[in-house]
């Protein structure tokens, strides 16, 4: 006869086996991993805004996601692989195709399997370029944990001579985004465990 603890653990173990069916990813999605990134602006026109041109303060201006194929990683040493996609959440049109180095970039780097970060340059307002200053247009550049953004507020005002682009700087934080199949499996396992405990109480 099973003791009370064994009677409780047996259904939970069965639930773990059952839930593992849901955790196994589909073959076409098995190697695609998604991460989110959020910037922390330290110096930027977006921190305080510019009321004279209608620019509101937005210290968390850049948030987005990117994906990569983890099957390309060995987990040994420094590795750099292509990013499959990059896009800003608030403006999905600002994506990897805007990187002038595309398709060689954007890339994702790792050290011994640990994420170092994204390398992505997006020039999203090329019409604001200032060739004499080697300014390519309004842009954002993410390089690992560092952010650089360029913005030319004088372009949007009647008096745009001389043009004075402003550079901003900050840091980048990354967070993994669980696969839907993994979330479903964990929820199933949790529900089975809770149900079993209620029946035994």
Tens of pLDDT, residues 140-172 = 999 999 999 999 888 877 766 778 899 999 999
Is the confidence at residue 38, as pLDDT, over 80?
A: yes
Categorize the per-residue pLDDT at 193 as very low, low, confident or very high, splitting at 50, 70 and 90.
Answer: very low
pTM across the whole model: 0.72
Binned at pLDDT 50, 70 and 90, residue 8 comes out as: very low
187 band by pLDDT with thresholds 50, 70 and 90: very low
If you average pLDDT over residues 7-30, what whole number do you get? 39
Asked whether residue 114 carries a pLDDT value surpassing 50, the answer given is yes
Check whether 184 has a pLDDT greater than 80. no
Query: Is pLDDT of 113 > 80?
Result: yes
Predicted local confidence at residue 180, as pLDDT: 67
| pLDDT-derived band at 138, boundaries 50, 70, 90 | very high
Average pLDDT of the residues in 19-34: 55
Q: Pairing relation of β-strands 63-69 and 32-43?
A: antiparallel
Cβ atoms of residues 30 and 181 within 8 Å: no
Cβ contacts of 107-111, under 8 Å, gap ≥ 24: 107/80, 107/81, 107/82, 107/83, 108/66, 108/68, 108/80, 108/81, 108/82, 108/83, 109/78, 109/79, 109/80, 109/144, 110/73, 110/75, 110/78, 110/79, 110/80, 110/81, 111/77, 111/78, 111/79
Q: What's the confidence (pLDDT) of residue 10? A: 42
């Amino acid at each position: 006869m099973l003791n009370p603890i064994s009677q409780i653990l047996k259904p939970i173990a069965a639930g773990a086996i059952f839930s593992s069916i849901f955790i196994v990813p589909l073959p076409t999605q098995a190697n695609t991993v998604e991460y989110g990134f959020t910037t922390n602006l330290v110096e930027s026109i977006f921190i305080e805004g510019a009321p004279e041109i209608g620019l509101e303060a937005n210290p968390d201006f850049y948030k987005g996601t990117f994906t990569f194929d983890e099957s390309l990683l060995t987990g040994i040493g420094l590795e750099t692989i292509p990013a499959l996609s990059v896009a800003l959440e608030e403006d999905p049109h600002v994506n990897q195709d805007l990187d002038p180095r595309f398709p060689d970039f954007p890339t994702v780097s790792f050290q011994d399997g640990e994420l170092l970060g994204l390398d992505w340059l997006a020039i999203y307002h090329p019409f604001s370029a200032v060739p004499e200053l080697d300014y390519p247009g309004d842009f954002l550049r993410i390089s690992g944990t560092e952010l650089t953004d360029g913005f030319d507020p004088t372009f949007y005002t009647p008096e745009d001579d001389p043009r004075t682009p402003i550079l901003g700087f900050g840091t980048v934080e990354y967070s993994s985004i669980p696969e839907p199949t993994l979330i479903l499996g964990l929820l199933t396992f949790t529900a089975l465990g809770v149900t079993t405990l209620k029946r035994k109480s």
